[in-house]
Structure 1
Amino acid sequence: MLTSEACIKQFWNDQHFRLEKTTLEGYETAIRQMLSYCEKPYNEITTLDLRDWLIHLEEKGYKKGSIKKKMFALRLFYHYCVEEDIMNHNPVKSISLPKDEDRLPQYLTPEQVTHLRHLCYSNLKKRAVIEMFIATGIRLRELTRMKIEDINWNERIITIPKGKGKKERIVPFTHQCEEHVKAYLESRNDDFPFVFLDRYGKGAIDPRSIQHWFEAFRNEIGVFISPHTLRHTFATKLAMKGMPLSHLQVLLGHVKTRDTHLYARLHSHAQKQMYDEWM
């Protein structure tokens, strides 16, 4: 019988061809977190152990969405163990996933977007990064991996080689985004392929650096803001202008249609707010 460490390593090696590295890292963290709490090897975990762990997560204040992601990790891990004949029972099988919280995506108002731009006014790289998020709705990891060769300046489109779900897609960008990204690129004197470089100019920018910027932005603007907030802001603006959800789904790179329907609900919510203001 494989040890817990050996089993996790084998699981990682067999799954990394079809899953994003960040997704797999999150899954591994969830598996290790569960094993640490239960203080048992993976093959001795029972359904009762898992239910106790889920209660523990709720008591610790974990949101339903976070708990659901951890359960996805355990489902895949134990399904793999059974499929590979490492185990003959699946302790996760009878546990239902928690229901999603019915929340609308958080997005910035036009005034807050203006404030954010003002905060980056004197920093070419920060302003270019912000404009890229606002104009394209791309994910953080997609931005940090973006290469100059991915940009078609004549058509004002960017090829996202392999986003979430391993699917390539094309996204357009605005003249304003073009202006600020070009200004940043022209300020550089290197031949690195990445659009955005780290603080030392030696390689691609680290996602954590950008997340650190956003911590400062939150304090200045007074609301929670993250790269994903700008993704929501991008999608919300297009939804409110009447873009069909099927088109929006392609731009966002959503694998599941239900993800995009969040913005349809948000559009309806915004219309009601506008009605209430006029009546």
Structure 2
Amino acid sequence: MEKPTTKRIWRCVRYYLQLCEAKGDAPDTIINKRAGLSKFFKWCLSRSVYYVDQIDLDLMDDYMHCLNTYRKPLDGKPMTVAVKRGYLTFVKTFVEKLYMKGVLSTNALEHIELPKIGRPLPKAVFTENEIQKILDQALLFGFSGLRDRAILETFFATGIRRTELANLDIEDIDLNEQLVRIRKGKGGRERIVPISERGCEWIALYLSKVRPRIAFLASGSTLFLANNGKRYEPHKLSDMVSRYVKLAGIKRAGSCYLFRHATATTMLNNGADLRHVQEMLGHADISTTQIYTHVSRSKLAEVYGKSHPSALSKQRLF
């Protein structure tokens, strides 16, 4: 690919996104980068900033102020710190890559100070009973419901990400050994995880009774097919899960990640080692997995009841 002959911001953005694609960034990652840089580009136009060599720390201070004062039109709430940091990071890495490729002579944002964020706890951690209610809703919808149940069971049994599930092919599932090979994990990492016998039975039912009804030549070896016979788009999986959460009568919001959270917390509650949960979820850093120790409340309550002097005391006030 050719380097841009102009330093106009959007021409450089297109070049940068081509580099990201060539590097192997996931499609969702590239979509997010494009959206974040598009927001920054439109803001730059409003300030008569047209060229990448005009981007410096003073300009980013103004952009930070813009993000801090922004209010969502639906509820009037500000952006979260994580969202603001994300928007700023898009610009920082964009400028850094242009410097590395020689488009810019200096990296003006090398010393930018990004907002610090903690590690928020996962929201809407569902109980096992709630998960079962969600799973049961799929059976109300005939053959497509059988497919959906197989998808939901796979989410819960493996803790897989939605993009990872969408990318599964038939040969990635070993029903005899009860294993799932995830070829396109986050960061390009591969891993093999176990899947329950129950999950395998639902997949086998789907493969024998449902998939032949919707597959066509272009379906290839894709495991889970949408109604059009093609590979699922990840956001469609989220829409499907959200619909079943509502049908189950659960008032909290939830999508594909609710099964990932449930897998992690349930395993920890039942005594799984943190390292094993890390490997199961495909986390590069164990500190990400440690978040789930904070929401593994039943295990904490059990240990507290057996170890804390106040909990062990039987003294009554009256």
TM-score, normalised by the number of residues in structure 2? 0.80
Q: Is the 8 A contact 1:147 1:193 kept in 2?
A: yes
User: Take 1:163 and 1:102, find their aligned partners in 2: how far apart are those partners?
Assistant: 22
Q: Is the 8 A contact 1:151 1:157 kept in 2?
A: yes
User: Take 2:11 and 2:119, find their aligned partners in 1: how far apart are those partners?
Assistant: 39
User: Take 2:148 and 2:65, find their aligned partners in 1: how far apart are those partners?
Assistant: 41
Q: Which moved more, 1:205-214 or 1:25-34?
A: 205-214
Map of 2:67 onto structure 1: 57
Map of 1:211 onto structure 2: 238
- Deviation of 1:34 after TM superposition, in Å, equals 1.0
Q: Is the 8 A contact 1:47 1:95 kept in 2?
A: yes
Say which of 135, 156, 160 aligns to 1:117.
135
User: Take 2:153 and 2:112, find their aligned partners in 1: how far apart are those partners?
Assistant: 43
Say which of 35, 40, 59 aligns to 1:34.
40
The residue identity in structure 1 corresponding to 2:148 is K
The residue identity in structure 1 corresponding to 2:268 is A
1:9 is aligned to 2:14: yes
Map of 2:222 onto structure 1: 194
User: Take 2:163 and 2:171, find their aligned partners in 1: how far apart are those partners?
Assistant: 17
Map of 1:25 onto structure 2: 31
User: Take 1:72 and 1:270, find their aligned partners in 2: how far apart are those partners?
Assistant: 37
User: Take 2:162 and 2:254, find their aligned partners in 1: how far apart are those partners?
Assistant: 13
Map of 1:180 onto structure 2: 202
- Deviation of 1:274 after TM superposition, in Å, equals 4.9
* Residue pairs, 1:54-93, within 5 angstroms: 54-59=64-69, 60=71, 61-93=78-110
| 3-state SS in 2 of match to 1:165 | helix
Larger Rg: 2
- Deviation of 1:263 after TM superposition, in Å, equals 1.6
User: Take 1:254 and 1:15, find their aligned partners in 2: how far apart are those partners?
Assistant: 22
Closer, same or farther: CA 36–265 of 1 in aligned 2, 3 Å: same
Say which of 77, 85, 105 aligns to 2:122.
105
1:48 is aligned to 2:58: yes
Q: Is the 8 A contact 1:64 1:101 kept in 2?
A: no
Q: Which moved more, 1:58-67 or 1:22-31?
A: 58-67
TM-score, normalised by the number of residues in structure 1? 0.90
Say which of 233, 237, 247 aligns to 2:276.
247
Q: Is the 8 A contact 2:181 2:191 kept in 1?
A: yes
Give runs of ≥4 in structure 1 deviating > 6 Å.
Answer: 275-278
Deviations 1:137-174 (A, max 9, x none): 11101111110011111110011012101111001111
Q: Is the 8 A contact 1:115 1:221 kept in 2?
A: no
The residue identity in structure 1 corresponding to 2:151 is V
| 3-state SS in 1 of match to 2:122 | coil
Unaligned runs of 5+ in 2: 1-5, 72-77, 312-318
User: Take 1:52 and 1:264, find their aligned partners in 2: how far apart are those partners?
Assistant: 39
Q: Is the 8 A contact 2:167 2:184 kept in 1?
A: no
User: Take 2:56 and 2:134, find their aligned partners in 1: how far apart are those partners?
Assistant: 49
User: Take 2:242 and 2:178, find their aligned partners in 1: how far apart are those partners?
Assistant: 30
- Deviation of 1:275 after TM superposition, in Å, equals 6.6
User: Take 1:161 and 1:272, find their aligned partners in 2: how far apart are those partners?
Assistant: 35
When the two chains are superposed, the root-mean-square deviation of aligned CA atoms in Å is 2.1
- Deviation of 1:18 after TM superposition, in Å, equals 3.9
Map of 2:267 onto structure 1: 238
Highest RCO, 1 vs 2 (Cα 8 Å, sep ≥ 6): 1
Q: Is the 8 A contact 1:128 1:177 kept in 2?
A: yes
Percent sequence identity is: 24
Between Structure 1 and Structure 2, how many residues are aligned? 277
- Deviation of 1:7 after TM superposition, in Å, equals 1.0
